Amino acid sequence: MKNSHYILSCLLLLALNPMSIAQKNSKKNIAPINKEVFIQSLISKMSIDEKLGQLTLYTSDMSVTGPVIRDNYKQDIMNGRCGNIFNAYTPAYTRKLQDMAMQSRLRIPLLFGYDVIHGHKTIFPIPLGESCAWDTLLSEKSAKIAALEASADGLHWTYSPMVDIARDPRWGRVAEGSGEDPVLGSAIARAKVKGYQGTDLKSKESILSCVKHFALYGAPVAGRDYNTVDMSMQNMFNVYLPPYKAAIDAGAASVMSSFNEINGVPATANKWLMTDLLRKQWGFKGFVVTDYTSINEMVNHGNVANDYEAGVAALNAGIDMDMQGAVYITHLKSALEKNEVKMADIDAAVYRVLDAKWQLGLFENPYLYCDENRAKQSIMSKENLQTAEEIAIASMVLLKNENNVLPLKAKGNIALIGPFVKNKRDLIGNWSGAGNWTQANNLYDAVVSRTKGDATITYAMGANVTDDTTLIKKMNIQEFIDKRQSTELLKEAIEIASKADVVVMALGESEGMSGEAASRSDIGIPSNQVALLKAIHALGKPIVLLLSNGRPLSLSWENEHINAILETWFLGTQSGPAICKVLFGDANPSGKLTMSFPRSVGQVPIYYAAKNTGRPFDNNQKYTSKYLDIPNTPLYPFGYGLAYTQFEYKNLTLNKNQFKANEGITAQIEVKNIGDKDAFETVQLYVQDLVGSSTRPVKELKKFGKYFIKAGESKTINFTLSTEELKFYNANMDWVLEPGQFKLYMGKNSQEVLEVPFEISGN
């Protein structure tokens, strides 16, 4: 009875001012009003404009003096016609905007979102690089630190993780994901959601995660961003959907729709995707936001004639929030009057948005994330930077190390050559958001500090990132100047390299050459940098090639001619110190590739989990599936990566070779460090279903683990595999385990494996 009196009193307060309940509860130690009662009561008091305002997300802008909000958006916030803002951060600025919301009739707090993709201020390796650590604890840790800093800087919500499976390195946004495999991608998706959201969203150190891009965005035709996706249902469910599902099961609070179409219907209007699959089958309870103006862009897709029709289609499909398009706030009131949308659907969407704000504790304290003192203490702390360096080290992949050129010794004359030696801007990579590139630590400074006069360090830029003479053609004199500059850079590089004992060359892509809207048809190192590399190679000096890039590159010439190749990606704030530690052996490289590297762009899309054909490769038979000029295999396969030691795999066994459908399979293998340096090794387990009612891949990753093995030490590694993990979607889209013959593989990458057969019976 006492509780019912409390609820009635709260409802009376709500009728006057919904925020007064939160203010009352924040001052007294009493139980808060029931969430559903509170939100439904609030919705009942809202006008249609205020409801549509909660479904509207506008951007803040940046000027020379800092973040600014457009005047018309200010009025919308104060009138309750905008409930969410993105690209707004810092405690002072978000407090200013929240003050505007507190002037609205119902004083509903704003939700602040931002692209916190691989760190907020402390920038970690790009997600593709971080995935090469094969360490979900590190993935969770980086997300937790990102949430700590972002929440301290006024943010409630990040548009991450991006869990799109990607098998075409021409697509620039491979940099933002975890590679080509659904099992690894799912594990990282779960870790990221856990890191961002923690165990309690009301903790001021947690932020909402947003799984993107739902769905299939990572498979655009021709690897061209925003392009059409055309995919079978089996490929969709067996390969591309699992990481989204894993993130939803981990409790992700929001989902972002993708730009592409699915089965001929853009994702933003796809009711089967957003309602039938996401909500009804998967049980998702959070809210769905569009990608930037993707409702408006349906007009270009051609499934609607105008923005009005687009807004109707999006809401009816199950889209809750309109990012920047202003379609809902402009057109849905009219659509409601015409009975083309239902008030119940609008109310349901509003409920989901308000529920997120409730979970964050914003109704209790709209300024919970606006603490400037906390921002000073939490952002770019010593501990955060140490973790960033640790993850950067774990993300690097040693691709080649001929004659043990690496690690370097801190003696003699070491020449540092290339556009990424002193560079800071590109170190933090694309989608670095609020990161300040001027605070990044570069390679040159780290090497000079590490060698401390024990070695002579010389430097030459050698080349620009790209060949300016092909980009600037306004005047002949400009071309002449650019060519002359290029010649002088090359001349200087040759001069210092000729005097060096070893040459370290830092080459690759600029940060803008991968990421959104950054697809490339030629995925090699830019030609002017290759010319520099070849000129230095002609001197006959040992060369270490450091790669800065956001995607797999085609490196056939480099692999054939260069002594050592270290893939460093874009490693973030602590790039220089991390690379330096690996260069000089203070740390042992342990990364393994999560995307296959092609020999040529003509091979892509290329991935390890391909299917056989009716005419599989046979070098002795002409009419089999192969190229005339290169092997079918990638240059560097999925799971590949070297260390400053060697590992020997032997004695792969199973607990038995015949299993019933409900029995677990235990695989055991012995891994020995046969070198002279302690190191981490990522052990990988793959399975092949030899005969299926639908054709099955030649290998599928099922388990992996990272182990520290001392020099000379042997470790026995055990994995237990459930038969549930052998199921797949068949031609009827049933989730089945089919009895029959299988092979289990374990090894150091997807190609270098030991194998053992086993059988699953039908009972």
Catalytic annotation, residues: 291
Peptide bond into 213 cis (omega under 30): yes
* Max Cα distance, the chain (Å): 89
Residue 447 near residue 457 (C-beta atoms within 8 A): yes
Tokens at 282, concatenated: 């998967």
Residue 209 near residue 161 (C-beta atoms within 8 A): yes
Three-class HEC string of 239-300: HHCHHHHHHHHCCCCEEEECCCEECCEEHHHCHHHHHHHHHHHCCCCCEEECCCCCCCCHHH
DSSP state of 34: P
Tokens at 701, concatenated: 């990753």
Q: What span, in angstroms and rounded, lies between the C-alpha atoms of 575 and 590?
A: 16
Residue 123 near residue 435 (C-beta atoms within 8 A): yes
| Nearest by Cα to 161 from 249, 242, 255 | 255
Non-local (6+) Cβ contacts of 751 within 8 A are: 608, 633, 637, 639, 640
Non-local (6+) Cβ contacts of 164 within 8 A are: 173, 177, 212, 213, 216, 217, 218, 219, 240, 243, 258
CA angle 271, 272, 274 (to 5 degrees): 60
Helix, strand, coil percent content, the chain, rounded in steps of 5: 35, 20, 45
| Nearest by Cα to 242 from 294, 310, 194, 184 | 184
Residue 486 near residue 531 (C-beta atoms within 8 A): no
Q: What span, in angstroms and rounded, lies between the C-alpha atoms of 658 and 746?
A: 18
Non-local (6+) Cβ contacts of 500 within 8 A are: 412, 413, 414, 415, 458, 541
**Neighbour tally for 48: CB within 10 Å:** 13
